[in-house]
Amino acid sequence: KPHAGFRIAFNMFDTDGNEMVDKKEFLVVLKPDAEELVSRSYWDTLRRSTSQALFSDLAERADDITSLVADTTLLVHFFGKKGKAELNFEDFYRFMDNLQTEVLEIEFLSYSNGMNTISEEDFAHILLRYTNVENTSVFLENVRYSIPEEKGITFDEFRSFFQFLNNLEDFAIALNMYNFASRSIGQDEFKRAVYVATGLKLSPHLVNTVFKIFDVDKDDQLSYKEFIGIMKDRLHRGFRGYKTVQKYPTFKSCLKKELHSR
């Protein structure tokens, strides 16, 4: 299921429907509300297709990263020195998935201090950073009180949760199908709905941590408002919390690292 958003993005690039994307298609996509072909940042195409925060932020700053759109290293990587090669979906997905992993690793390492885990409280900090929650101390206190003995969140758990967030709309639909949107749900129901919607199996400790963060009324249940509303706001806000001078070089370094690893 996590492939779905990227498949949609790939299909938007693949304007002739031949399951391959050439250089021209990659740089030019069809604007939905116009008949003519117009140049658009491919980060904007990814944003429209995947609803993922990383690409939302890049699209908003497309003017600042025009050099990346025309970056010869990236284009050579995808289409060869002569620009005649074509890109299939699996290569496209593998590259973008690895790139996202690089970005998440930087986020994780900034909190882990060289350890294999980050604290549950730090995980809460990361989740709440771009939301409209005014008093985050309530949520952080929930974690400190409910998980007194720190077990930690591994990178695999961290990454799986962000893969889940990238499919939050599908999760919300699954809740509606099971009539969960109108009532609170427990941890087992939450895990089942995540799996049905995304194909991801979240660890029991990760799910328990999420519940301890967002279960404000401490009834061991999560309501739609307690979780979905806050996380949707986070995705809409994306990575805007970073300072411009920090986030662009960080992303660009990830891009270069991924290109040179090939």
- In angstroms, rounded to a whole number, what is the distance separating the alpha carbons of residues 154 and 108? 9
Domains of the chain: 3-93 (1.10.238), 115-236 (no CATH)
Pairwise CA distance, residues 155 & 59, whole Å: 27
Check: pTM over 0.75? Answer yes or no. no
Q: Would you write out the chain's pLDDT as a tens digit for each of its 262 residues?
A: 456 777 887 888 888 899 999 988 877 654 444 444 444 555 555 555 555 545 554 444 444 444 444 456 777 888 888 889 999 999 988 888 887 788 788 889 999 988 999 999 999 998 888 677 778 888 898 898 888 888 999 999 999 998 888 888 888 887 777 656 567 889 999 999 899 888 899 999 999 999 999 888 888 888 877 788 788 766 554 443 333 334 444 555 655 666 666 5
- The reported pLDDT for the residue numbered 82 is 87
pLDDT value at residue 247: 43
Structure tokens at 111: 């909190």
Closest CA to 250 of 23, 78, 54, 91: 54
Torsion of CA 225, 231, 237, 241, to 10 degrees: 120
Q: Look up residue 35 and give its two tokens.
A: 């008949």
Q: Which two tokens stand for residue 198?
A: 């995304």
3-state helix/strand/coil string of the chain: CCHHHHHHHHHHHCCCCCCEECHHHHHEEECCCCCCEEECCHHHHHHHHHCCHHHHHHHHCHHHHHHHHCCHHHHHHHHCCCCCCCEEHHHHHHHHHHHHHHHHHHHHHHHHCCCCEECHHHHHHHHHCCCCCCCHHHHHHHHHHHCCCCCCEEHHHHHHHHHHHCCHHHHHHHHHHCCCCCCCECHHHHHHHHHHHHCCCCCHHHHHHHHHHHCCCCCCCECHHHHHHHHHHHHHHCCCCCCHHHHHHHHHHHHHHHHHCC
Q: What angle do CA 251, 169, 26 make, to 5 degrees?
A: 45
67 is written with which tokens? 């050099």
Q: Give dist(CA 135, CA 164) in Å, integer.
A: 25
Cβ atoms within 10 Å, residue 240: 15
CA 65, CA 184: separation in Å to the nearest integer? 43
In DSSP terms, which residues pair with 189 in a beta bridge? Answer: none
Residues 97, 249: contact at Cβ < 8 Å?
Answer: no
